[in-house]
Chains A and B, each alone.
Chain A
Amino acid sequence: MLYSEKVMDHFKNPRNVGVIEDADGIGEVGNAKCGDIMKIYLKIDNDIITDIKFETFGCGSAIASSSMATELIKGKPVKDALKLTNKAVAEALDGLPPHKMHCSVLAEEAISSAIKDYYDKNNIPYTDDTFKSLAHSHEEE
C-alpha cells in the first residue's frame, strides 16, 4: 500500500477538521495550483493552544498530515508548537512516501504561519529565527 495504516486512519477520520470563527491566529500555506493548501485556526489561552482546527485542499497525505499535526500540538504551549518539525509529523504517521514528504512540510509551515499571525496580532516580539521554516515557501519545494 502507498500509505501506512496511521496515514489512512487520519485520512479516513481526520481530527480537528473545521473553522474557528474567533481564532487568535490563522495560517494558510501552499497554493491550489500545486494541488495543496492548508489552513490552520488556533485558539490560544494563556500561551496554551486550547483549540485548533484545519481546512485542507489536497491529497490523502496532506489531509492526514494536517490532522496529525493538529493532534500533536493541541493543548500544548505555543513555544512547544513552534518546535514541531515536519519530520515529527511524518514519524507520528509511521512515515510518508518520499514524494509526499512535502505534505508534512506544509503542515509544519501552516502551524508556524498561524502562530506568527497570533504573535503579530498581539504584538509579541520574535526574531527572524522564530519562523525560519516560513522562509522557504512551498513553491520552492
Chain B
Amino acid sequence: MNIYADNAATTKTSRTVIDAMLPYFDKFYANPSSLHTPGQEAMEALTRAREAVAKCIGAKPNEIIFTSGGSEADNQAIVSAAMIGKSKGKMHIISTAFEHHAVLHTLDKLEKEGFKITLLDVHENGMVSAEQVREAICDDTCLVTIMYANNEIGSIQPIKEIGAVCKEKNVLFHTDAVQAVGHVHIDVKDENIDMLSMSAHKFHGPKGVGVLYARTGIRLTNIIEGGAQEKGKRAGTHNMPAIAGMAVAIKEACDAIDTHTPKIVKMRDKLIEGLLQIPHTVLNGDRYSRLPGNVNVCFEGIEGESLLLMLDMDGIYASSGSACTSGSLDPSHVLLAIGRPHEIAHGSLRLSIDYDNTDEEMDYIIEKTKKVVEYLRNMSPVWSDLKKGKREYVIQ
C-alpha cells in the first residue's frame, strides 16, 4: 500500500486543473501583455482567472495580484506594509513565533533595518488570541501578520476577531493563508483581512503560482521590478498555464469544502485517536480549531527522521519537524514555539491527509506507526532510560 499523507507539503494537481492548463502551452500561448488578437485572448483568460480567484475569497478582482507563490506574496505583503508604516514613522510589527519562514525571515530583515518586531506567544495549543493582539498594538504599530492556519500543527487562528481588533486600531492586517485557502471558507471582507497570501499547489493547483490579495487602497511595494504587469506591482510575463490552473483549482477546492470536510475530519480524528493510543504520545496543535486534514504528534524517546524512513518503507509518506529532516541542528521552530522541549520536538510526525485518502489507509497508518514507534523505542537508549526510571517522561 502506498499512502501519500503529506498534503501540507504539496498536493496532487487535479486532472481538471491539468486539462485547463494545457491549452495555454500550445493554443493560447500568446503573452497577455501583447496587443494582437491572441494576446488579448490571453488577457481575457487572465481577467477570468482573476475574477475566479477573487470570488472564492470574497475579494474584488482588482485586489488580486498573481505571484510566484505563497512566499513571494508573504514577502510583498509584509514589505509593503512596512514601507507604508515607515512613511508615517510607524515601525512596529506584530506577528507570532510560529509563522512560516517566508514571514519570519522577512521580519528578520526588517528588524535589521530598524523595525521593532513583537512575536506573540502561541501557547501550548498553538493558538493566539485577539486579546493578545489588542494588548500588543501600540501607536507605532504598522502591521499585524498572523497565519490563518499553521502549516505544521494545523491550528486555525481566530482571524475574524484579530482582524476586527486591527480594523478598530487602524492597523494593517495580513494573514498567510497558504494552508487554509481551499480547505476552509474564507471571506476577506467579513473577516477584516487587509492582505492575504495563498499558494495554488496547496489546493491541487500547480506549483509556482500564488496570489497576494491586497485591499483597495493599500499601496504595494514591488519585490520584482520590471514590466507593468499586475498594475506595475509585480513584473514578469504572466505564467498563464499556472494562473489558469490556479483559477480552476481554487474554485474546485472551495466548491468542495462542504462535501469533503466531514469525510476528511472523520479520517483525521480516527488517526489522532489511533495514534494517541501509543503510550507517551501527545497531539500538537489545538484539538478542535484545526485544519481538517492535519495530524501532528510527538512520540517520546524516538527521532523523527528514522521514523519517516521506516514509514516510507511501509509506503507511508509523511513529514517530521525533527532537526535531521530540516538540515539544521534545531528541530521545528513551531514545536519549540508551543513549548515542546528539543528532545520531544525531534520525535514529531505530521500526517496531512486529503479527500482521496481512505478509512482503510488510516487503519494501515495507525497499525504501521504503532509497530515502527515500538521498534525504534526498543533500540533507543533514551527509551530504555525512561523505562528504567533513569529519566523522567516529558509526555505522560
CA distance A38 to B342 in the complex (A): 17
The number of inter-chain residue pairs (CB within 8 angstroms) is 70
Q: Taking CB as reference atom, which chain A residue is nearest B308?
A: A60
Q: Which of B7-15, B233-241, B320-328 contacts A (4 or more CB under 8 A)?
A: B320-328
Q: Interface digits, A1-45 against B, CB 8 Å rule (1 contact, 0 not)?
A: 000000010011010011100000000100011111111000000
A113 interfacial contact with B, CB 8 Å: no
A51 interfacial contact with B, CB 8 Å: no
Main secondary structure of the interface of B (DSSP, over half): helix
Q: Which of B67-75, B244-252, B282-290, B377-385 contacts A (4 or more CB under 8 A)?
A: B377-385
CA distance A54 to B304 in the complex (A): 19
Q: Interface digits, A88-100 against B, CB 8 Å rule (1 contact, 0 not)?
A: 0000000000011
B334 interfacial contact with A, CB 8 Å: no
Known contacts A12-B313, A32-B342, A59-B324; A37/B381 CB under 8 A: yes
CA distance A99 to B323 in the complex (A): 11
A104 interfacial contact with B, CB 8 Å: no
Q: Which residues of A contact B383 (CB under 8 A)?
A: 57
Does the CB pair A57–B382 fall under 8 Å? yes
CB distance from B53 to the nearest CB of A (A): 37
Interface residues of A in 81-138 (CB under 8 A from B): 99-100
Q: Taking CB as reference atom, which chain A residue is nearest B382?
A: A57
Interface range for B: 20 to 34
Does the CB pair A17–B329 fall under 8 Å? no
Q: Which residues of B contact A17 (CB under 8 A)?
A: 378-379
CA distance A38 to B303 in the complex (A): 12
A71 interfacial contact with B, CB 8 Å: no
Show the binding face of B for A, using Cβ within 8 Å. 301-306, 309, 313, 322-324, 327, 329, 331, 341-343, 346, 378-384
Show the binding face of A for B, using Cβ within 8 Å. 8, 11-12, 14, 17-19, 28, 32-39, 54-60, 62-63, 99-100
A sample of 10 inter-chain contacts (CB < 8 A) reads: A11-B309, A33-B342, A35-B323, A35-B329, A37-B380, A37-B382, A55-B384, A58-B306, A59-B322, A60-B324
